[in-house]
Structure 1
Amino acid sequence: MTMKKLALAIALAAAATAAQAQSYPTRPIKLIIPFPPGGATDIVGRGVADQMSKVLGQAVVVENRGGGGGSIGADVVAKAPPDGYTIGVSTVSTHAVNPACNPKLPYNPVKDFKPITNMANVANVITVNPNFPAKNYKEFLALLKANPGKYSYATSGTCGFGHMLGEQFKVATKTFMVHIPYRGAGPALNDVLAGQVPIMADNLPASMPHIKAGKLRPIVVAWNKRIDSLPDVPTFAELGLKEPNDPAWYGLVAPAGTPDEIIKVLNEAAVKALHDKGLADRLRQAGAEPSGNSPAEHAAEIKKEYEKMQRLVKVQNIKLEQ
């Protein structure tokens, strides 16, 4: 092919892509939520999907594909045609923790996706059973330092984000707690409430009802400022622990190779959806703070979290079979 013909072919391809983007979407869009219905990922994803449907004039149809800590659903998105008609929810689990813990996953969290936006952020928290002897962070830290290995903390499972939060805390404070993994946050929470395990690392929305009821005592939160409803509970950052202070996030991604013009349409629709007062209020009531950043900003969030989790897995020698 001559240079002139090559240039013409490129121009025609670009024109076809632009025309596709101008008419996009012409049919329903599938949104893969990589966790079962009812959890925080599902609440955020469904809320945004419903509002995006109104903005785009085409249905954004939710399909829950749970399993493998979110990796099954994420792989479906990675392998979908890059035409904008299959997108997925990105989470710290699917795009940072799981790939860092399991390099054999069938997808790469950075190379196999094209980020659209961060839909919402959620605070994380370390809590204790009310009978735990420490009443605040200062006492909590002193107790752990004086008794290495005596206390244990519960999480939703090995290589879940709660596990990684606990390990980040241990590294940052040079303390040692024993990790007790469960098959989900529900069973872990039940044992902490019952006093079987004294400490838990989890997201704040799941813990907040029990905190309000006096059944859990919050020790420290991962957020950019003190939580209004927990004014006496410090953030990791103000204690000098910056790495554990990053929140959990719920984003939107498309398969790698999706045209930039389509990503732009999806980003603008998602951002407009998140500016809807009704949706924003519902997300906040569920404990999630709406975001709506640019594709480049969400790409940077994914890369930063993935690299941080890779370092943590190496330092703490974390293995899925533990």
Structure 2
Amino acid sequence: MALLPAASVRAQGWPAKPLTMVVPWPPGGPSDIAARPLAKGLQEVLGQTVIVENKAGAGGNLGTAGVVQAAADGHTLLVTSSAPIVINPSLYKKMAFDPAKDLIPVTNVLRMPLVLVTHPGLGVNDVAALMAQIRSKPDGMVIANSGNGTPQHLTAELFMDAAKLKLSHVPYKGSAPAIADLLAGHVPMMFDSLAAIMPHIKSGRVKPLAVTASKRSPLMPNVPTMAEAGVQGVESYAWYGCFVKAGTPPAVVEQLNAAAIKVMKAPEFQKVLADTGSDYVGDTPANFAQFVKAEAVKWDRLVKLSGATIE
């Protein structure tokens, strides 16, 4: 009986040709940290070429729409951050697809916490001192983010809401330009993923104050969680998942899930997790679907709280 799902897939001839893994973000970004090692591993496990195609634009919507328009045969995969799946439906006034109806969650691939960092020139060493400085200014302070509606932006909203702070957002077109202005001292603080900001933490050019995880990061054992720093309810992750078009045969989804889990449990992928301070989050399609639904509810509230909208 245990062999029946795999036998069913083989009877359908999947995979019958090279797979395309669409990443709806620019090359070299955090999504590639999840996608490229996964693609390499799937190629070995499935015995078919896996081509990674970065198709950026419209906050992840452009590449995601391309997957929705592809054949529902399991040969076109989507590996993306959470934005086009659970944030953009609340943020954009109009979208060309409905992720809840048009995509099937296969598995979560990895998640990494965000970290609140400040420019050293700000002169604060912990979250309490930062909050005191913010509250001492009648107009509050500014905080950079990598774009309206991104996890970085909405995590700052979560922080503001939980700590009752006044902050003004400065949105950038991506993490890199936001970090550049933070390093130059043009903005005093930001939330960003551990993978993106870690080189600058190591160099001492930014100061980490707290991580948004439920536990401390092994890469920064001396940096507290937001809860430990005295701000409850600010738990947030940048997560990256694998999806296929709705209508893909269940047997194909199960086989793809099994192959992805095998890759993610292998030493090579485990090293990626360790090097980026990420958590292993491989799961069944059903459990991942429930997680995605809960995330959509969470971020919908924060998008509405922020008042952000994109035409």
**TM-score, normalisation: structure 1:** 0.89
Q: Which residue of 2 aligns with 1:24?
A: 14
Q: Is the 8 A contact 2:93 2:310 kept in 1?
A: no
C-alpha distance in 2 between matches for 1:95 and 1:308: 12
Match of 2:97 in 1: 107
Superimposed CA distance per residue, residues 74-117 of structure 1 (whole angstroms, 9 cap, x where no aligned partner):
11112222111111013211212222211411111211110100
Task: From the CA coordinates, give the structure whose radius of gyration is larger.
Answer: 1
Task: Report what 1:197 is aligned to.
Answer: 187
User: What is the distance in 2 between the residues matched to 1:290 and 1:61?
Assistant: 24
Q: Report SS of the residue matched to 1:127.
A: strand
**2:107–2:282 CA contact under 8 A, matched in 1:** yes
For the pair 1:165 / 2:155, whether they are aligned, the reply is yes
Q: Map 1:33-182; keep pairs closer than 5 Å.
A: 33-182=23-172
> Match of 1:131, SS?
helix
- Give the RMSD, CA atoms, in angstroms: 2.0
Please state how far the C-alpha of 1:220 moved relative to its aligned partner: 1.5
Amino acid across the alignment from 1:121: R
Hey, what does 1:269 align to over in structure 2? Answer: 259
Task: Select 1:282's aligned residue among 272, 282, 302.
Answer: 272
Indicate the residue corresponding to 1:11 in structure 2. Answer: none
Seen in structure 2, the aligned counterparts of structure 1 residues 87 and 260 have a Cα distance that, compared at 3 Å, is: same
Match of 2:208 among 218, 221, 245: 218
Letter in 1 for 2:270: A
Question: Distance in 2 between the 1:244 and 1:258 partners?
Answer: 36
Q: Which moved more, 1:224-233 or 1:185-194?
A: 224-233
Contact 1:44 1:283 in 2 (8 A): no
Offset from partner CA, 1:98-145 (integer Å, 9 cap, x none): 222114111112111101001111111110000113210111122223
Cα deviation 1:125-166 (Å, max 9, x = unaligned): 110000113210111122223335331111111222211111
- Give secondary structure in 2 for the equivalent of 1:123: strand
Once the two structures are TM-superposed, the CA of residue 295 in structure 1 deviates from its matched residue by: 0.8
Which of 205, 208, 218 is the matching residue for 1:228? 218
Moved more, 112-121 or 292-301: 292-301
What residue is the counterpart of 1:184 in the other structure?
174
Structure 1 stretches lacking a partner, 5+ long: 1-16
Aligned residue type for 2:37:
G
Tell me if structure 2 keeps the 8 A contact 1:162–1:201: yes
Aligned residues: 306
**What does the per-residue CA deviation read over 1:201-228, in whole Å, with 9 as the maximum and x for residues that have no partner?**
1111111111111111111111231112
Aligned AA (1:192):
L
Match of residue 259 from structure 1: 249
Deviation at 1:252?
A: 0.4
